[in-house]
Structure formats: C-alpha cells, structure tokens
Chain A
Amino acid sequence: MIVKIAFKNIWRNKLRSWVVIIAIALGIFGGLAVISTATGLSKMRQNNAIRTYVSHLQLHDSAYLKYGRLDDTINQQADIITYLEKSKKVKGISPRLKVESFIQSAGGTSGVILNGIDPEKERQVTDLAEQCIAGNFLERYKQKPPIIISQKLATKLNARVKTTIQCSFTNNMGVPITGIFKVVDIFSTSNSMYDELNAFVRLEDLQHLTSIQGSHEIAVVLHEEKEVEQFREELISKFPNQHIASWRGIAPDLGYADKMMDLVMTLFLIIIMLALAFGIVNTMLMAVLERKKELGMLISVGMNKRKVFWMIIWESIFLALIAGPLGIFSTYLAVNFFGRVGIDLSFAAQGLRSIGLESTLFPILDDKYYVIISILVIITAILSCIYPALKALKLNPAETLRTA
C-alpha cells in the first residue's frame, strides 16, 4: 500500500518528476558516454602504439638488454622462429638487427638506431609501411642499399628521398665501419621520440655490413590482444634464456594510462552521483514541504513514522528505477551504435595524430560500468532522500493542520 501510494505520488507533479528522471538519465548517459569515450581513446592510443612500434611481444637475448653488444644476438633464433611460426596464436613475426650508429648527410648529423628488417615480415607486425609517404618500403634503389628515415630526422639532416646518407659505427672487433644508404622513403609515427631515434634498412644489408647473422630482436603480434600475457608465459617456459616482454613491459606508459583512467572514472562517477544526489534531495524536499498538510494528516490519523519514512524513500527509489534503466539503455544503444560506426573526429585529425590518435573514435564500455552505475544510482537515490524523509518525520501534525 505504502509502495503503491508512493508510486502514485510521483505522478502528482508529472513535469517535476520527468525533469528529475530525465536529469538522472542524462547524468548516467553523460557519465557513461565520457567513460566510454575515454576508454575508447585510451584503447586507440594503445592499439596505435602497439601497431606502429611496440607490437605485442618482443624477444631479446638477455645479454643484449644488459650490454647492447653487437654480437649479443638471439642464440636460439631458428628454434624460436619455428616455434612462433607454428603457433596458431601468432599473426606475424619480424626479426630485427639493431645497430647504434652515427648518421650523416651533407646537411647534418645525428645518432640513430639502424633497424635491419625484412620488409615483408615487418609488414605483418607493424604498420610502418603505411606510415611512409612515398610508398617505397625498402625496395632496392639503384644498387645502393635503401634506408627509411623519419620526417623528423630528415629535417634534422636536411635529407629528402634520394638523398645519400652515411652511417658509421664500430663493429664488435672495434673496427670502424661505414655504410652508404639511399633514402627511399620518409615515415612519421605518432611518437616523435621514436621517430628521431629509428631508421630502417634491409636486414640482409645490415647483416652484410656488420658481418653478423641473426637478429637482436624478434617482434611478435598475435591475433588476439587478450592472449598476450598467457602467450608470453608460454614462451618464457619454452625459451627461458630469452628476455620476453609484452607491450605492457615495453611501453609501461600505455598501461599506466589504463590505471589513470580508472582513477578518472571513479572521480567522474562520484561527480555524477553527487549531481544526482543533489537533484533528488532538492526534488524530494520540495515534494515533502509541498505536502506538509497531507503528511500531517497521515500522521494524525495514525500512519506511523516508519511508514511515512518509507513512503518518501520509495518515491525516490521509483524515480531512480525509472531513470536508471532509461539512462543505461540509451547509453547501451549509443555505445553499441558508435562502437560499430565510430565517432568521426576528422575535424580535429591533425591535433589527434600528434598525440597518437586517429580520427575515428570507437567508444568502449566495459559491462562492469553498467552494473556499477546501476548500483550507484540506486544507492545514491536512497541515500539522498533520507534527509527529505527525515524532514517529513519532524512534522508536527497539530501544527501542520492548524495552518489551514
């Protein structure tokens, strides 16, 4: 009965109830929209970084990471590659030979890591090829070995496509070595530090130059990102002498972003709930004060305070119960729709690119947020009508009836 009266009571002031319901629903929608957009952005940044330069897993010889010597190549390379190629989880592998080198052109000099790669294999692992402007991903160029440098380095060296470049380093015997390369393409990724430090040449060219076989690094990409950690364990148990890191270990900042996000979300949810609470307190207080006489009459004729209290509580529970699903459902629809179609941010493409983002955003919302929000909304609704409900209990029936 109390519940029934409470339900009917909220429709007495339809406009006000709808305003509150819509406000709550919008709050939920807005909150979840921001969370899903932020999650989408973070995921996008992550994926971008993984795709352009981090990849899912990287294998190195432990000594290489420690000393960085040229001959610290991966000693079980053949076994490892065979193993990786056999695995159904693996999408692509790219062995790389890395040489710290001094790079020089007629226009300037710089330090750089020469990455010797197999272009076809590298295509399976990173989208470096797509980041090149001229579309020449290390094809042979007039007998001279090709090199790809970043836009940033090109500016520094005052180099262009077709510029000849000289790379020098000392080999493992301490003998100075110089290689001449022709710039065949220029790339740029979203990570300018990475760009400045890396240049790419063909693996066999670099192997020839250094007289070193094998590679220092094997980059691996799996079909499913979520299998990364488990596959890493698998590799570690198979090849215990190798240092094997997942993207989380290679680029910890990408993982921090996730943690950071959780914190921001929590704060955000608190703000939404506070706004919600404020709205409900306000409305219910108004609803109580407006009905002073009626509530006084109910207490006068013998409705006890516990029942009056619960009647008010139920009223706001109903508001929340109508608004909650409304907000959650509309969010669900929107997130699903834009999760499929994407949100077009091309108007800001330039700026987004510079921070590692693309122009189409796919919002992502973990199911847990729907549950969290639903629970929070109900708890907030109940908590925030306690004050108005207590206010109703303080009414003195004789007083309220007198001021007729």
Chain B
Amino acid sequence: MIKVTHVTKTYDDGKVRVEALRGINVEIKNGEFTAIVGPSGSGKTTLLNIIGGLDTPTEGNVIIGETNIAHLSENQLIDFRLNHIGFVFQSYNLIPVLTAKENVEFLMLLQNKSEAERDERTTKLLKAVGLEDQINKKPNEMSGGQQQRVAVARALASKPDFILADEPTANLDSASTANLLDIMYRLNQEENMTFVFSTHDQRVIDRAKRVITVEDGKILSDIYA
C-alpha cells in the first residue's frame, strides 16, 4: 500500500521557483493498475519519483507499507528501492553490456540471491514477458518493445511491492504498446502485482483500472474504471 499525504514539491534553484506538486493526497492499494495522466509539466514524473523514492518531497509523507520514505537517507533510499520498488523507465532501462538474462538477474545479484534462485526466476520472468528465446541477446540486438519487456521482467525480479513506470510506452509503436500492456495487465491479474504508470497515450489510459489526473501539481480527478 502506498499512502501519499500532503505532499508538495518545490524546485528552487535560487532564481526560479517551480511548485511542481502542491498538496497531493492519494492512496494506492496493493493489486491496483493505476494510470497517472495529465498535460505535460503537470507533475506526473515528479509524483512518481517521489513515490519511488528517487526524489524527496518538500513537505508531506510517503508511506510505503510501514515505512515513511520521506525521512530516509539517500543510502537507505537506494536499499529501499532495491528491495521494495520495481522501475520501468521510458528509456535507458537496461545495462547495454549485459544480455537480457543478465539484466534481469542483476537486481537479484545486488540482493545476494543464490544462483539457483536467480536462474529459476530469470527464466520464469523472461518467459512471462514472452522473451524466452531472446535471453542471450544484448539490448541493442532487441527492439524497443522487447527491451521494455526485459525492463518489466527486471523490475519484477527483485520481488518489489509495486512497479512504477514513467511513460513506459512513449517510445513504442502501437503493436508493441499493446503487447507491453497485455503483459503488465496479465501480471497484475495473475500475480496481483501493483502497477502505477504515467502516460499520455489514450489507448494506455483505456486499459487502466484507475485513472488519476494531475494538473498543475494537484489531483484534478481520481476515477475507477
């Protein structure tokens, strides 16, 4: 469960002050399939970053499970991210020098998982995203859609509480987009994995079970489909 209360975020570089978030309150329960939408510059990325512990709120609290991550140190946050949150970014998701299999394995290595467990889980996850025949390919030998599917498998590998995806389909064609969404949706249905993603894409929005609209750093609407 993710609980965001009274979160504000102000960027201030001394010259310009930008209030990216102005008081966000939201709760996301386990097993949700939630899209965060809104115009460019509305604060979607900022919100996801704060939920994901990549950025700290200026005010307010972000409670994930039992932990208030707003008060963690930088190093604690890194460990928290490793063990509790899966990330899928728009691009630069994978380590270019490693194969698909090694990329998926990577977080489990950081978590000091045994080789047997790593192997088993990697195979299972790559199969789940339909890439069992691509395991030894490097990122630059795969299509954008395949790379994003490896990223989803990688995000799942560490057994996170939920997966955050900031515009995961922004660089994909419509077939790949549909395919990636199918996979995410199925993982949500079958494994009860929580997904929170931001998007501009109406087709992606249509698949979401809950749509939170952000505008000007505030939540404009919060609709369950």
Contacts and interface: CB of A to CB of B under 8 A. Distances in A.
Interface of A: 1, 5, 8-9, 11-12, 293-294, 296-305, 307, 397-398, 401-402, 404
Given A9-B97, A302-B78, A305-B78, 13 more contacts: A1-B109, A5-B97, A8-B97, A300-B52, A300-B54, A300-B89, A301-B106, A302-B79, A302-B81, A304-B75, A401-B92, A401-B166, A404-B91
Contact of A304 (B78, B93, B109): B78
Given A1-B109, A8-B98, A294-B96, A300 B81 contact: yes
B49 interface: yes
Interface string B16-41: 00000000000000000000000000
B97 A12 contact: yes
B79 A304 contact: yes
A298 B107 CA distance: 10
B87 A300 contact: yes
A302 B82 CA distance: 4
B89 A294 contact: no
Interface in B88-109: 89-93, 95-98, 106-107, 109
Contacts of B75: 304-305
Interface in B139-186: 154-155, 158, 166
A324 B78 CA distance: 36
A9 B97 CA distance: 7
A392 to B, nearest CB: 14
A298 B55 contact: no
Contacts of B90: 404
B19 to A, nearest CB: 17
5 contacts: A12-B96, A301-B154, A302-B82, A304-B110, A401-B89
A5 B109 CA distance: 12
Given A8-B98, A304-B78, A307-B110, A402 B45 contact: yes
Given A5-B98, A294-B92, A404-B91, A398 B78 contact: no
A300 B49 CA distance: 10
A179 B155 CA distance: 106
B158 A302 contact: yes
B83 interface: yes
Contacts of B87: 300-301
A297 B55 contact: no
Given A300-B87, A307-B110, A294 B81 contact: no
B91 A398 contact: no
A305 B78 CA distance: 8
Contacts of B93: 297
Contacts of A398: 49, 54-55
A1 B55 contact: no
B81 A301 contact: yes
A358 B42 CA distance: 82
A8 B138 CA distance: 12
B83 A302 contact: yes
Contacts of A293: 92
B95 A298 contact: yes
A294 B95 CA distance: 7
10 closest A-B pairs (Cβ-Cβ)?
A302-B82, A8-B97, A398-B55, A293-B92, A398-B54, A302-B81, A1-B109, A398-B49, A304-B78, A397-B54
A304 B77 CA distance: 9
B108 to A, nearest CB: 10
Contacts of B92: 293-294, 296-297, 401, 404
A303 B158 CA distance: 12
Interface string B60-80: 000000000000000100110
Contact of B89 (A12, A297, A299, A302): A297
Contacts of A305: 75, 78
A302 B157 CA distance: 12
Nearest to A297: B92
Q: Which of B75, B83, B110 has the most CB of A within 10 A?
A: B110
Given A404-B90, A404-B91, A303 B110 contact: yes
Contacts of B49: 398
Contact of B82 (A8, A11, A301, A402): A301
A322 B106 CA distance: 26
Contacts of B107: 301-302
Contacts of A1: 106, 109
Nearest to B98: A5
A301 B96 CA distance: 15
A20 B71 CA distance: 44
Given A1-B106, A398-B49, A303 B78 contact: yes
A373 B86 CA distance: 47
